[in-house]
Chain A
Amino acid sequence: MVRFKHRYLLCEVVSDDPRCRLSLEDRVLGGLVRDTIARVHGTFGAAACSIGFAVRYLNAYTGIVLLRCRKEFYRLVWSALPFITYLENKGHHYPCFLNTLHVGGTIRTCQKFLIQYNRRQLLILLQNCTDEGEREAIQKSVARSCLLEEESAGEELSDSGGEEAAEAME
């Protein structure tokens, strides 16, 4: 039918500095993306992308960001993301970059992808971790996520993905 279609870009903020993710704020990041689009694509790009632009979800612990833009101009936004090289917040300057994980048409598809991605990341973390205490915590998280996966085979859980991600990084 007649409606405005959007594209949701699921990105991850990657940085050497661990304080960078904690200082993530949606308004700061939104302003940064808009400035970068204005620099890379000019006044036309800035105007075209800022109509439907919003930061929909932000997780400071995992550095996952969900950006929304109109379907006609999502390529302008996507191509401007590699030009973001730093994050500036309250006078602190952190070098970082945005890694795009998934482009989806709805928040639900992005959430499904994020749940699977976090499960895979948990297994990778399990392989790489050195401390015994950490290893047990990660193994518990992996076991819990497998149980949740069996439960949700029949029904649809709406908030488990976000909670899993927050618990996994604590």
Chain B
Amino acid sequence: MPAPAATYERIVYKNPSEHHYMKVHLEFQDHGIGLNAAQFKQLLISALKDLFGEVDAALPLDILTYEEKTLSAILRICSSGLVKLWSSMTLLGSYKGKKCAFRVIQVSPFLLALSGNSRELALN
């Protein structure tokens, strides 16, 4: 008995997440410099504006969490702007005359992936 004809449907997802999440840490050459959340965001936007101009300084960038003591934050950026944000953070050299650098710890299209980091895993 011939089998009934089967219908196939192929669904392709090409990167369904529109946002990318980055865990970053700002490191200064001298210690003892603090920034609040607004100043941190202003620093990021001015880095984007220097390298990519006013059009890309207006990219929808959000700071989801910010810790003032460790100067580390979790950022959210739309996927098309990830490369621009990352490259402008790389090329940022100073804040108000003081040398600093951004260390990118983790990047992921899913926020849940940033909750655990196998580098900081403590094995007992």
Contacts and interface: CB of A to CB of B under 8 A. Distances in A.
A40 B54 CA distance: 5
Interface in A116-133: none
A86 B38 CA distance: 34
Contacts of A40: 53-55
Contacts of A45: 52-53
Contacts of B55: 40-41, 79
Most chain A Cβ neighbours within 10 Å, of B51, B53, B54, B55: B53
- If over half of A's interface residues share one DSSP class (helix, strand or loop), that class is named, otherwise mixed; here it is helix
Nearest to B87: A44
A13 interface: no
Q: Give the interface size bracket for B toward A.
A: under 10
A45 B53 CA distance: 8
A14 interface: no
B62 interface: no
Contacts of B48: 42
A41 B54 CA distance: 6
Interface string B12-25: 00000000000000
Contacts of A44: 51-53
B54 A43 contact: no
Most chain B Cβ neighbours within 10 Å, of A38, A42, A45, A79: A42
Interface of B: 48-56
Interface of A: 38-45, 79
19 contacts: A38-B53, A39-B53, A39-B54, A40-B53, A40-B54, A40-B55, A41-B52, A41-B55, A42-B48, A42-B49, A42-B50, A42-B51, A42-B52, A42-B53, A42-B54, A42-B56, A44-B52, A45-B52, A79-B55
